Chains A and B, each alone.
Chain A
């Protein structure tokens, strides 16, 4: 059998897998070029990402925000929009949750000390609601500007990122700064607001937010495929003219999509803020919002695939951390190289498909 058509059909059938494979191949080739044994590098990364329960736990900790931010980008993408503002919505969401937790904790002291299941459930819901609401409002603002005023969402959402980061920094340093530390962080939230964490990961803070992420992905998948809303978003994104002719208010769909996208982005930070640190730290997000774009792109905008894609990027992030001290010639930046290559090859897929039709 001729290997070429075989390879071709493989690439067409499994474009995502091909992209990942090619991305790793290219990235590891770069490592080899720098003088490392690529198999050794790969081994270090795999061990660091999932070698022990703790490592695996940390990988899941990194995966959690990426699931939310990946979903956020996917929802906007469904309606033909590009939400680059996930990063800003994420820090604002985390900040909102922290403020709500601190305020409630201040009024009702029982929340600061109680760790009963009921209190924790209420705490989680209230914080989640606050984060989603604020993120959603910021998203809605972008959506409104796009739908009714014609400002491009990429421009406005990028600019809102700067505002969000400046605003949260000010709030942390001027309003809620912790008295017992020199770090740029707020006071710790009460115990009832610390997220429920799972044991079995040797102390890695894998929290309820990881499960919520998966749950959200399922919900988004159902909304996409099974509801009128999902159809309207799709129609708006794929062919807004036909959508308009058929009586869909495309402007409204744009606002809905951006609000939902913002709400999901707002939830991204909670695993870190409430689960890990238990307080808001400036710069806690290592570009989760932006990585969410890559996550969604690799997943092709499909919500369930976002979970796998987020896990891959989470593992890459965690795995690359050990490269700094286990190798001589490469650093954790190799993760960025691999990530970039994967995205490059994932995008190349479109080119192929267009040409074949």
Chain B
């Protein structure tokens, strides 16, 4: 039942306590005696590297996974959640990183689906209380990613959740959306909800949370008071080696002047993925592309690789390392030039999830020329696969990039997200690419892994590759790029150069990102909704 009844009535007080929760998968202790609690009116941060056990823990709380040992108590009473149905009934709500929304339904229809017709009043009140800004009558496909997220939270509230779990909520937001989001979170907790915030971004956690639980390899390694803790000590507790998140230092060789990627007056008419761009990426240069998601960045990659369908009225030229690509097919392109691709969605575009690492190595190596190191003879002559070489190569990459578990031979589906990403990076960057197309290389990745990935990108640059980097993480863009271009609606609206004192005009970039995008809402924002992806 909806809990928000009328103006004076606060939702009932609640305290959720996890006591000694343990869960192991095979020999892996995903959670080992995890205990903490969260109260109404409190925001609890939950931080830890990829694979630290945050998701397992929350999945147990939400009834997705059954704990091996330990108990969950609500207001002192022990409860069991055989499935999410029971946990929702008990007032626990979860907002997943990937939204579960139908593009063609309106926001209100979504609310009514989960909470019944009468939820309309509650929804309106909650929106007013929390400062949500979107039109309930609008279809989801017309909402921005940030607004979709608000809708997801609203859904959970209208279902009567008193405890709200948010999984990496800021990962999908643009820099300008983050601050208002955190303010709304504050109001959410002030209205009597208990909030659990899973995040990688330590500064955000410190800014908004009351207490912070740190996890490492399945254990709680510290519970801190956010008012008195520093990012360094949190990081230390997360990594366990007194390491702190030192940013990539950028003393770098001069960018080259020989163009690797050259796009001249490329124009793709309106419809799906309109583009109108003209730029160059040189050897030994990282060109960052900043922009609100869905402004053509994905299409840019697809057009370079010729995965986007040809369109009437397309014009202009795209060349890589001097070879014109516009008339080639994707197969010919992958054969002709060495392009490392870190795709927008590693799971759907970069991996065979049921395959082992050796099989997945082939996913870039099907271009035999790019796999000369491994064994051109065998692959090209008879099509016989050199499994032995591939397997040892996989082991080598795992250890070089610190991918865990080492010597993994099972399906890559079972690796954590960060490790999957590191594997894709390892596979693509180790073939000595001329051009690197990297999209959100560290999204949802903890910062030890992020550093490995950043190092790999920087070292590819220093070896002479041109890098085109799309990211919504401003820090990442600024620390890696030599130049940053701002893309709005398929056009480059401004270009920023790295200043001599090693920095970018961050606020300038932020302003030009939003200035030309009215309402912050972009029509073809793909990937934001279920089934909304292009192609």
Whether A241 contacts B366 by the Cβ 8 Å rule is: no
Whether A227 contacts B384 by the Cβ 8 Å rule is: yes
> Which residues of B lie under 8 Å from residue A357 when comparing CB positions?
413-414
Nearest Cβ on chain B to A166's Cβ, whole angstroms: 38
Instruction: Given A239-B348, A246-B363, check contact A226 B334 (CB 8 Å).
Output: no
Say if the beta carbon of B333 comes within 8 Å of chain A.
yes
Whether A235 contacts B379 by the Cβ 8 Å rule is: no
Which of B343, B366, B387 sits near A248, CB closer than 8 Å? B366
CB-CB contacts below 8 Å: A237-277 with B: 238-239, 241-249
- Report the nearest A residue to B351, measured CB to CB: A242
Instruction: Given A231-B359, A235-B352, check contact A247 B385 (CB 8 Å).
Output: no
Encode contact with B along A49-75: 1 for CB under 8 Å, 0 otherwise: 000000000000000000000000000
Nearest Cβ on chain A to B259's Cβ, whole angstroms: 23
> Which residues of B lie under 8 Å from residue A239 when comparing CB positions?
348, 351-353
Nearest Cβ on chain A to B432's Cβ, whole angstroms: 17
Say if the beta carbon of A229 comes within 8 Å of chain B.
yes
CB-CB contacts below 8 Å: B130-178 with A: none
Whether A245 contacts B350 by the Cβ 8 Å rule is: yes
**With the chains together, A342 CA to B331 CA distance in Å?**
42
Say if the beta carbon of A228 comes within 8 Å of chain B.
yes
CB-CB contacts below 8 Å: A180-238 with B: 226-232, 234-235, 238
Instruction: Given A238-B355, A242-B352, check contact A247 B367 (CB 8 Å).
Output: yes
Say if the beta carbon of B535 comes within 8 Å of chain A.
yes
Whether A247 contacts B333 by the Cβ 8 Å rule is: yes
Whether B335 contacts A247 by the Cβ 8 Å rule is: yes
Whether A242 contacts B384 by the Cβ 8 Å rule is: no
Looking at chain A's contact residues, the main secondary structure is: helix
Whether A227 contacts B385 by the Cβ 8 Å rule is: yes
**With the chains together, A262 CA to B385 CA distance in Å?**
25
**With the chains together, A238 CA to B359 CA distance in Å?**
12
**With the chains together, A246 CA to B305 CA distance in Å?**
10
CB-CB contacts below 8 Å: B323-353 with A: 329-331, 333-335, 341, 343, 348-353
Taking residues whose C-beta sits less than 8 angstroms from the other chain, chain A's interface range is 20 to 34
Which of B363, B383, B535 sits near A228, CB closer than 8 Å? B383
> Which residues of A lie under 8 Å from residue B350 when comparing CB positions?
242, 245
Nearest Cβ on chain A to B413's Cβ, whole angstroms: 7
Say if the beta carbon of B354 comes within 8 Å of chain A.
yes
> Which residues of B lie under 8 Å from residue A245 when comparing CB positions?
305, 307, 330, 341, 343, 349-350
> Which residues of B lie under 8 Å from residue A246 when comparing CB positions?
334, 363-364, 366-367
> Which residues of A lie under 8 Å from residue B307 when comparing CB positions?
244-245
**With the chains together, A248 CA to B384 CA distance in Å?**
17
**With the chains together, A222 CA to B179 CA distance in Å?**
57
Say if the beta carbon of B362 comes within 8 Å of chain A.
yes
> Which residues of A lie under 8 Å from residue B383 when comparing CB positions?
227-229
Whether A238 contacts B352 by the Cβ 8 Å rule is: yes
> Which residues of B lie under 8 Å from residue A227 when comparing CB positions?
382-385
Whether A247 contacts B366 by the Cβ 8 Å rule is: yes
> Which residues of B lie under 8 Å from residue A228 when comparing CB positions?
362, 366, 379, 383-385
Whether B366 contacts A232 by the Cβ 8 Å rule is: yes
> Which residues of A lie under 8 Å from residue B334 when comparing CB positions?
246-247
> Which residues of A lie under 8 Å from residue B535 when comparing CB positions?
241
**With the chains together, A226 CA to B382 CA distance in Å?**
10
Whether B362 contacts A231 by the Cβ 8 Å rule is: yes
Whether B363 contacts A242 by the Cβ 8 Å rule is: yes
Nearest Cβ on chain B to A40's Cβ, whole angstroms: 43
**With the chains together, A101 CA to B364 CA distance in Å?**
47
> Which residues of B lie under 8 Å from residue A244 when comparing CB positions?
307, 330
**With the chains together, A263 CA to B384 CA distance in Å?**
22
Whether B367 contacts A226 by the Cβ 8 Å rule is: no
**With the chains together, A230 CA to B383 CA distance in Å?**
9
> Which residues of B lie under 8 Å from residue A229 when comparing CB positions?
383
Whether B352 contacts A226 by the Cβ 8 Å rule is: no
Nearest Cβ on chain B to A102's Cβ, whole angstroms: 38
Whether A235 contacts B363 by the Cβ 8 Å rule is: yes
Instruction: Given A226-B384, A227-B384, A227-B385, check contact A249 B351 (CB 8 Å).
Output: no
> Which residues of A lie under 8 Å from residue B354 when comparing CB positions?
238
> Which residues of A lie under 8 Å from residue B349 when comparing CB positions?
241-242, 245
CB-CB contacts below 8 Å: A320-342 with B: none
**With the chains together, A234 CA to B343 CA distance in Å?**
20
**With the chains together, A234 CA to B385 CA distance in Å?**
14
Which of A230, A242, A247 sits near B331, CB closer than 8 Å? A247
**With the chains together, A249 CA to B329 CA distance in Å?**
9
Instruction: Given A244-B307, A245-B350, A247-B334, check contact A226 B362 (CB 8 Å).
Output: no
**With the chains together, A247 CA to B413 CA distance in Å?**
22
> Which residues of B lie under 8 Å from residue A248 when comparing CB positions?
331, 366
**With the chains together, A228 CA to B367 CA distance in Å?**
11
Nearest Cβ on chain B to A357's Cβ, whole angstroms: 7
Tell which of B307, B362, B384 has the most Cβ of chain A within 10 Å: B362
> Which residues of A lie under 8 Å from residue B348 when comparing CB positions?
239, 241-242
> Which residues of A lie under 8 Å from residue B353 when comparing CB positions?
238-239
> Which residues of A lie under 8 Å from residue B343 when comparing CB positions?
242, 245
**With the chains together, A241 CA to B329 CA distance in Å?**
15
**With the chains together, A231 CA to B378 CA distance in Å?**
14
Tell which of B333, B350, B354, B363 has the most Cβ of chain A within 10 Å: B363
**With the chains together, A232 CA to B330 CA distance in Å?**
15
> Which residues of B lie under 8 Å from residue A247 when comparing CB positions?
330-331, 333-335, 366-367
**With the chains together, A226 CA to B387 CA distance in Å?**
8
> Which residues of B lie under 8 Å from residue A232 when comparing CB positions?
366
5 examples of A-B residue contacts, CB within 8 angstroms: A226-B387, A234-B355, A239-B348, A241-B535, A249-B331
11 additional contacts (CB under 8 A) given A226-B384, A226-B387, A246-B363: A228-B366, A230-B385, A231-B362, A242-B348, A242-B351, A242-B352, A243-B363, A247-B330, A248-B366, A249-B329, A357-B414
8 closest A-B pairs by beta carbon, nearest first, are: A247-B334, A228-B383, A227-B383, A246-B363, A249-B331, A247-B331, A238-B352, A245-B349
